[in-house]
Every structure is written in structure tokens, then in C-alpha cells.
Structure 1
Amino acid sequence: MGWLLILTASFFEVIGAIGLKLYAEQKKIIRLVLYWGGFFVSFVLFYFSLHYLELSIVYPVWVGLGTSGAVFANMFLFNEPKSLPRLLGLVIIIVGVVGLHMTM
């Protein structure tokens, strides 16, 4: 249950980051709702995941998956560069998250 919560929290962190990017470009209420709502849901799910998993696992997974997801979203939604060094960095983050999962 804890892993499902933290994966979902990471997903909503990405939604919040996308909303923040969109809101920074144009101040519209739907973009503000994506921004605030995404981060709010993410923090709530993060909190509940701590009932099942240790903070030393939850926090790096949440940040790592959220960061990776935001970078992928920016590459595909906002046409940021898709360079090899950037993709290798993302692979390293994801390998680290999987490594933490395997320690449980």
C-alpha cells in the first residue's frame, strides 16, 4: 500500500509541476488548480505513505520520481531538449529509485 501511495504522490507532484509551468505562462484558474491541487494531493499521499514506509525510502523515491516525471513531461509537453546526457541522468535517478525499492 505504501508503494502505491508514493507512486501516486509522485504522479501528482508531476501534475503540480506542469500546472506551475502553465500558470507561470498564463494566469488562468484551471492552471492554478492544477498547480495547487497537484502539489496538495501529492503532499497528502506522501504523508499517508509514511504510515507504511520509512522516510529514508519515501522521500528519495518521491523526489526522484517527481523530478524524473517533470523532466519527461517538459521534454514531451514543452519541447525541452532530449539530449543523451539528460536521458542518462534520468536513468541514473530511476535506477536509484529501483535500488531503494529492492532494499525493502
Structure 2
Amino acid sequence: MDWISLVLAGCFEVVGVSGINKVNRSKTVASYSTLIIGFILSFFFLSYAMKTISMGTAYAVWTGIGTVGSALLGMIVYGESKEWKRILFISMVLCAAVGLKLMA
């Protein structure tokens, strides 16, 4: 259950980052709500996961999911660069997060 919570924390991190992008585009209640709710839920699930997962591992996986998820969201939804080098390095971040899971 702790690893599921950690994955949820990473997913809500992506929601929070998406909220930042929405606030930059238009300062509406919905934009701010997405930002605030995304980060609150992200920190809630992260703190729950850290009850049994070590701090270093949990933080690395959480930021990895947030980084990869945000980069993919930017490429798919917001038309950001899909250059092969960018995809390669995003893949490396993902592999590192999976490696930490396998070592824990």
C-alpha cells in the first residue's frame, strides 16, 4: 500500500505542476484549485508512504514520477519538444526510479 501511495503522490505532483501551468495561462479559481489540491494530495500521499519507505528512496521516486510525468504531459498536451535526446534522458530518470523500487 505504501508504494501505491508513493505512485499516487507522484501523480498528484504532476497535477500540481499542471496547475502551475494553468495559473500561468489564466488566473482562475479552477487553475488555483488544481494547483493547490494537486500539491496537498501529493504531500499527503508522500507523507503516508514515508512511514515505511526510507526518506531518500521515497523522495527520489516521488520526484522522478513528477519529473517524468510533467515532461510527458508537456510533450503530449502542451506541444513541447519531443527530441530524441529529451526522451532518452526522461527514460533514464524513469529507470532510476524503477531501480530504487527494486532495491528497496
> TM-score when scaled to structure 1?
0.98
Amino acid across the alignment from 2:63: V
Count of matched residue positions in the alignment of Structure 1 and Structure 2: 104
Aligned alpha-carbon RMSD (Å)? 0.6
User: Residue 76 of structure 1: CA displacement?
Assistant: 0.8
User: Residue 40 of structure 1: CA displacement?
Assistant: 0.8
Per the alignment, in what secondary structure is the counterpart of residue 62 of structure 1? helix
- State the identity as a percent: 27
Amino acid across the alignment from 1:51: K
User: Residue 28 of structure 1: CA displacement?
Assistant: 0.6
Amino acid across the alignment from 2:56: S
Aligned counterparts of 1:6 and 1:31: Cα–Cα separation in 2? 24
1:69-84 mapped onto 2 (5 Å cutoff): 69-84=69-84
Amino acid across the alignment from 1:37: I
Runs of 4+ in 1 over 2 A off after TM superposition: none
1:68 counterpart residue number: 68
Per the alignment, in what secondary structure is the counterpart of residue 91 of structure 1? helix
Per-residue CA distance 1:54-82 (angstroms, 9 max, x = gap): 11110000001100000000111110010
Amino acid across the alignment from 2:74: N
1:102 aligns with 2:91: no
Per-residue CA distance 1:21-45 (angstroms, 9 max, x = gap): 0111100101110011101100111
User: Residue 52 of structure 1: CA displacement?
Assistant: 1.8
User: Residue 6 of structure 1: CA displacement?
Assistant: 0.5
2:2 counterpart residue number: 2
Q: Specify every segment of 5 or more residues in structure 2 that has no aligned partner in the other structure, as ranges.
A: none
Aligned counterparts of 2:91 and 2:74: Cα–Cα separation in 1? 16
1:1-80 mapped onto 2 (5 Å cutoff): 1-80=1-80
